[in-house]
Amino acid sequence: MKPINIGLMGVGTVGGGVATVLKRNAEEISRRAGREIRLTIASRRNVEMARDLVGPDVTVVADPFEVVNHPDVDIVVELIGGDTVAKELVLQAIANGKHVVTANKKLLAVHGNEIFARAQEKGVMVAFEAAVAGGIPIIKALREGLSANRIEWLAGIINGTSNFILTEMREKGADFIDVLKEAQRLGYAEADPTFDVEGHDAGHKLTIMAAIAFGIPMQFDNCYLEGISKLEGKDIQYAEELGYRVKLIGLTRRTEAGVELRVHPTLIPEDQLIANVNGVMNAVLVRGDAVGQTLFNGPGAGALPTASAVVADLVDVTRLMTADPGHRVPHLAFQPDQLKNLTILPIDEVVSSYYLRIQAVDRAGVMADITRLLAENGISIEALIQKGAIADGSAEIVILTHRVVEKAVNKAIAAIEALDSVAGKVVRLRMEELNG
Amino acid sequence: MKPINIGLMGVGTVGGGVATVLKRNAEEISRRAGREIRLTIASRRNVEMARDLVGPDVTVVADPFEVVNHPDVDIVVELIGGDTVAKELVLQAIANGKHVVTANKKLLAVHGNEIFARAQEKGVMVAFEAAVAGGIPIIKALREGLSANRIEWLAGIINGTSNFILTEMREKGADFIDVLKEAQRLGYAEADPTFDVEGHDAGHKLTIMAAIAFGIPMQFDNCYLEGISKLEGKDIQYAEELGYRVKLIGLTRRTEAGVELRVHPTLIPEDQLIANVNGVMNAVLVRGDAVGQTLFNGPGAGALPTASAVVADLVDVTRLMTADPGHRVPHLAFQPDQLKNLTILPIDEVVSSYYLRIQAVDRAGVMADITRLLAENGISIEALIQKGAIADGSAEIVILTHRVVEKAVNKAIAAIEALDSVAGKVVRLRMEELNG
């Protein structure tokens, strides 16, 4: 059979990885796909640098539109990132009747509904395994491997930078800012780390997973984002003393009231496997009504792991491109006319358990006041420990609550902060057992 | 589109689970598959019991051949097990042009080459996600999700009974026979547990995974099997003191000399996630040249987890049944004319690290003799500890070796056992870092 021609837009780290994998594993890939998959044309503004990465057999151009408009290209790989020119290119490729493989989570989380609708009209595939959790085939697992299930929830460590920082903070007892500097030095964090450490990146990935898990449209605007930059080392340490690890978790759950869609630092019991996923590794824990809980773990970023996902999509698209579009795997797991626009719950309607740290000043009755305010707001206490002595003015009260709606906790916190016997703000972290 | 009719052979625990999932999640499944997937006919010798499990809408017959020969059935699900009548039924279904979904690992590991060849000739699919690791979509991950990779090795905890027993032995410091009785009482072990605890079941599953990972035919006869029934609690305890957990691992690795294919108790570093997979859970760790290491974890057995895999296969087959056979995912991941019959290494040619426990009697020079015999066989020592005092005759020497070919270790052990200063047999366990 004739080879499949790939056009690659964006030849950076990952693009170089794709070229490497396609070349190095050419034999295995064609033994699997039944035909050769070859990189034909690639684009990067700096043509010389691209040529170094893709080798002499590939035509290199500066203008990515030459790639999407090239008549010989069967599948376009978009690795430019962002949602401006990348969006134009992807829509142009679709209009040209070309299949698209992309690692661009932002593009899909923000403009996915439009892109998939266009692809549907044109009968082309848009594959995006590399957009979530790098080399872990989690999109395929959710869309195909667990298709018998009513997915109840999923929770992921889906930002390697944040997980590296949290791991270091725990292991070294260090503060966020110091570990961030180390991560930047090692190349695990960008010069401007906002996108990673404030949860935006995880929110994009979570939005995509929620869509395919529940059969809902992409709605990143409704995703709650809270990052790790304000986390203090002492809360990680107290959590550990209580048997928990703190992870930046993207969590989406189907409830009677609506779909939870939230990214925030979360206490997880240390005996959960996902609590022990450290460093830059990613993991996604999925709860389905039939399968129970399955965990998928692996490298969430990097040139070759991401290329692994891109090239797997190329093999998939190659296999399915001759099938009639009605019998391919639907882009968002559910048939396009079967998406349901479920409500996303506002964060203060979410039910969770909580970790609270309260700075008590030297005054009798503070414990009685706090427990009374919690009780008045319907919050029951699972554990309570006092750190330090009230006598020297440095006492802290750490409380773990049972499950309760977030607005009740916010109300209780406001009342606690108003007590004369309490100083400063109450530290509030969410806690999830991730068990059933 | 017209519904897909399923014929189910074998309505026991898992068959009942399949009926439950198809009914309970009918809406989600048809939203995904694009058409209804309905159980039409089911067979079990005891028709009444089957009727209780599948409900009143399904025709129940005693003779499974009525199912495979039924003109309305599109896909046959084989849950009878074993490789006698089940083989006949599967071959008959294929001859009748019906697609097959099976959870039967023994059938595939022993007769898979014949079955897949027949299916290929007839242009039908034989799907078998449920045959390995229950609800974990590991077949799909190996066959599709990681298709960009040259798979280097994979290691799995793929027998829940054995993992439950090992977990209990460790946590309670109990002996194999006592834990086995508990497992039997809880329904986690059969009355005759041989198939599970001696590695046969794991060997079947490993054989299937090796075939799709490396593109080789099924060759269960060459799989090395060593179970857990002779394991002593003290070795689990000593391993733990050295930072290792003992797991029944199925491991297959591609080497220059051939493919390793082996099931045996294995020491795994406790900081590996897979070392912390406990109870009846399963997990498979896969090493690919591009992705690095990915871990897949979840329930390896049970009615609903297994049904999750069976029904996912039904959705897959439904989606792909109209595609031309040349463009479906190949049964064994690689195109049928692209399998390579790589040599399976005999166990004594395998390279591993080893844990050795030697019973020393009260005599000077025993340590010198042992270390000399190891050195003479080219075996270097990574760690050595002495347990108990030689003075009271109960001293044990525990040694961890560096990597060495197994026949050298066997030779050294024979020489050590021949020493007057050593009593009884040397305990020998293999050890794998599973890291690169």
Beta A37-43 vs A4-9: how paired, if at all?
parallel
Structure tokens at B235: 């070795």
Residues B282, B297 contacting (CB under 8 angstroms):
yes
Residues B292, A307 contacting (CB under 8 angstroms):
no
**Are B375 and B309 members of one domain?**
no
For residue A258, is it within any domain? yes
| Residue among B20, B231, B212, B230 nearest B132 (CA) | B212
- Chain A residue with CA closest to B298: the answer is A294
For residue A344, is it within any domain? no
pLDDT at residue A382 greater than cutoff 90: yes
What whole-number distance in Å separates Cα of residue B115 and Cα of residue B87?
Answer: 8
| Residue among B65, B34, B64 nearest B47 (CA) | B64
What whole-number distance in Å separates Cα of residue A10 and Cα of residue A77?
Answer: 8
What whole-number distance in Å separates Cα of residue B320 and Cα of residue A42?
Answer: 32
Structure tokens at B70: 């039924």
CB A290 to CB B21 under 8 A?
yes
CB B319 to CB A329 under 8 A?
yes
CATH number of domain containing A16: 3.40.50.720
Angle, vertex CA B245, rays to CA A305 and CA B276, nearest 5: 50
What whole-number distance in Å separates Cα of residue B315 and Cα of residue A18?
Answer: 30
Given its phi and psi angles, is residue B317 left (phi above 0), alpha (psi -120 to 50 degrees) or beta? alpha
Structure tokens at B262: 């082996």
What whole-number distance in Å separates Cα of residue A348 and Cα of residue A344?
Answer: 12
**Are A175 and A290 members of one domain?**
yes
What whole-number distance in Å separates Cα of residue B143 and Cα of residue B329?
Answer: 8
The dihedrals phi and psi of A214, each to the nearest 5 degrees, come to -110, -5
Q: Does B298 touch chain A (CB under 8 A)?
A: yes
Residues in chain B with pLDDT values less than 50: none
**Are A269 and A357 members of one domain?**
no
Crossing angle (nearest 10°) for helices B47-54 and B13-24 = 30
A205 is catalytic: yes
| Residue A321 lies in domain | 4-137+303-338
Q: Supply the pLDDT for residue A241.
A: 96
Minimum distance, in Å, between the CA of residue B306 and any CA atom of chain A? 7
Given its phi and psi angles, is residue B102 left (phi above 0), alpha (psi -120 to 50 degrees) or beta? beta
Sort out which chain A residues have CB atoms less than 8 A from B25's CB and list them: 148-150, 289-290
From the candidates B205, B234, B407, B411, which is the catalytic residue?
Answer: B205
What is the count of structural domains for chain B? 3
State the CB neighbour count (10 A cutoff) for residue B327. 17
What whole-number distance in Å separates Cα of residue B328 and Cα of residue B123?
Answer: 10
Minimum distance, in Å, between the CA of residue A396 and any CA atom of chain B? 33
Domain boundary among A277, A312, A338: A338
Sort out which chain B residues have CB atoms less than 8 A from A136's CB and list them: 291, 294
Beta B281-288 vs B244-254: how paired, if at all?
unpaired
Place A393 in a pLDDT band, splitting at 50, 70 and 90. low
Q: Does A325 touch chain B (CB under 8 A)?
A: no
What whole-number distance in Å separates Cα of residue A185 and Cα of residue A165?
Answer: 12
CA atoms within 13 A on the CB side of B138: 36
CB B311 to CB A135 under 8 A?
no
Render pLDDT for B45-93 as a digit per residue (tens, 0 to 9).
999 999 999 999 999 999 999 999 999 999 999 999 999 999 999 999 9
For residue A203, is it within any domain? yes
For residue A145, is it within any domain? yes
**Are B255 and B372 members of one domain?**
no
pLDDT at residue A389 greater than cutoff 80: no
pLDDT at residue A277 greater than cutoff 70: yes
Place A392 in a pLDDT band, splitting at 50, 70 and 90. low
**Are A323 and A251 members of one domain?**
no
Instruction: Identify from B291, B297, B310, B338 which residue to disrupt to test chain A contact, counting A C-beta atoms within 10 A and taking the largest count.
Output: B291
Sort out which chain A residues have CB atoms less than 8 A from B24's CB and list them: 150, 289
For residue B191, what is the DSSP state? S
3-state helix, strand, coil in chain A (%, to 5): 40, 25, 35
For residue A436, is it within any domain? no
For residue B355, is it within any domain? yes
Render pLDDT for A33-52 as a digit per residue (tens, 0 to 9).
999 999 999 999 999 999 99
CA distances from B195 to A57, B206, B291, B346, B430 (A): 53, 14, 34, 22, 21
Helix (H) or strand (E) segment spanning residue B387: strand B381-387
Average pLDDT of the residues of chain A: 95
Q: Using CB atoms, pick whichever of A33, A277, A291 lies closest to residue B298.
A: A291
CB B308 to CB A288 under 8 A?
yes
CA distances from B238 to B228, B390, B400 (A): 16, 17, 11
b/e map B110-126, b = 16+ CB within 10 Å: bbbeebbebbbebebbb
Q: What residues of chain B, 13 to 32, have a C-beta less than 8 Å from chain A? A: 17, 21, 24-25, 28-29, 31-32
What whole-number distance in Å separates Cα of residue B79 and Cα of residue B70?
Answer: 17
Sort out which chain A residues have CB atoms less than 8 A from B324's CB and list them: 322-323
Angle, vertex CA A148, rays to CA B281 and CA B72, nearest 5: 125
Instruction: Identify from A2, A74, A136, A144 which residue to disrupt to test chain B contact, counting B C-beta atoms within 10 A and taking the largest count.
Output: A144
Question: What is the interface pTM, i.e. ipTM, of the complex?
Answer: 0.96
**For every residue of A204-269, which 3-state class applies, written as one string?**
HHHHHHHHHHHCCCCCHHHCEECCCCCCCHHHHHHHHHCCEEEEEEEEEEECCCCEEEEEEEEEEE
Minimum distance, in Å, between the CA of residue A3 and any CA atom of chain B? 14
| Residue among B65, B29, B60 nearest B43 (CA) | B60
Minimum distance, in Å, between the CA of residue B117 and any CA atom of chain A? 17
Residues A226, A265 contacting (CB under 8 angstroms):
yes
**Are A187 and A206 members of one domain?**
yes
**Are B225 and B113 members of one domain?**
no
3-state helix, strand, coil in chain B (%, to 5): 40, 25, 35
CB B137 to CB A146 under 8 A?
yes
- Chain B residue with CA closest to A291: the answer is B305
State the CB neighbour count (10 A cutoff) for residue A353. 19
- Chain B residue with CA closest to A17: the answer is B290
List of residues 6+ apart from A375 with CB closer than 8 A:
none
Mean pLDDT of A90-94: 98
Q: Supply the pLDDT for residue A5.
A: 98
Q: Supply the pLDDT for residue A391.
A: 62
Minimum distance, in Å, between the CA of residue B360 and any CA atom of chain A? 38
CB A136 to CB B294 under 8 A?
yes
Mean pLDDT of A376-387: 94
For residue A292, what is the DSSP state? E
What is the secondary structure of B48-71 as a DSSP string?
Answer: HHHHHHH-TTSEEES-HHHHHT-T
Render pLDDT for B351-398 as a digit per residue (tens, 0 to 9).
999 999 999 986 778 999 999 999 999 999 999 998 877 666 678 999
Widest distance between CA atoms in chain A:
83
**Are A200 and A333 members of one domain?**
no
Q: Using CB atoms, pick whichever of B289, B294, B323 lies closest to residue A297.
A: B294
CB B308 to CB A316 under 8 A?
no
What whole-number distance in Å separates Cα of residue A356 and Cα of residue B405?
Answer: 55
CA distances from A29 to B147, B161, B320, B327 (A): 7, 36, 21, 14
Minimum distance, in Å, between the CA of residue A284 and any CA atom of chain B? 10
What whole-number distance in Å separates Cα of residue A227 and Cα of residue A248?
Answer: 7
pLDDT at residue A372 greater than cutoff 70: yes
Residue A85 CB burial class (10 angstroms; 0-12, 13-18, ≥19):
middle
pLDDT at residue A322 greater than cutoff 90: no
b/e map B171-209, b = 16+ CB within 10 Å: eeebebeebbeebeeeebbeeebebbbbbbbbbbbbbbb
The dihedrals phi and psi of B333, each to the nearest 5 degrees, come to 75, -40
**Are B192 and B285 members of one domain?**
yes
What whole-number distance in Å separates Cα of residue B55 and Cα of residue A357?
Answer: 54
Instruction: Identify from B29, B39, B143, B273 which residue to disrupt to test chain A contact, counting A C-beta atoms within 10 A and taking the largest count.
Output: B273
For residue B345, is it within any domain? no
Q: Supply the pLDDT for residue B391.
A: 62
Instruction: Give the total residue count for chain B.
Output: 436
- Chain B residue with CA closest to A29: the answer is B148
Which segments of A78-153 does DSSP mark as H helices, in order? 85-95, 105-122, 138-140
Which segments of A322-405 does DSSP mark as H helices, in order? 366-376
Q: Using CB atoms, pick whichever of B144, B276, B315 lies closest to residue A316.
A: B144
**Are A163 and A216 members of one domain?**
yes
| Residue among A420, A428, A430 nearest A397 (CA) | A428
CB B148 to CB A34 under 8 A?
no
List of residues 6+ apart from A2 with CB closer than 8 A:
A35
From the candidates A98, A140, A205, A247, which is the catalytic residue?
Answer: A205
What whole-number distance in Å separates Cα of residue B74 and Cα of residue A421?
Answer: 72
Given its phi and psi angles, is residue B149 left (phi above 0), alpha (psi -120 to 50 degrees) or beta? beta
Render pLDDT for A326-370 as a digit per residue (tens, 0 to 9).
788 899 999 988 999 999 999 999 999 999 999 998 677 899 999
**Are B266 and B313 members of one domain?**
no
CB A144 to CB B312 under 8 A?
yes
Q: Does A185 touch chain B (CB under 8 A)?
A: no
CB A290 to CB B304 under 8 A?
yes
Minimum distance, in Å, between the CA of residue A302 and any CA atom of chain B? 9
Q: Using CB atoms, pick whichever of B31, B307, B334 lies closest to residue A290.
A: B307
Domain boundary among B338, B362, B395: B338
For residue A270, is it within any domain? yes
**Are A14 and A33 members of one domain?**
yes
Mean pLDDT of A409-413: 98
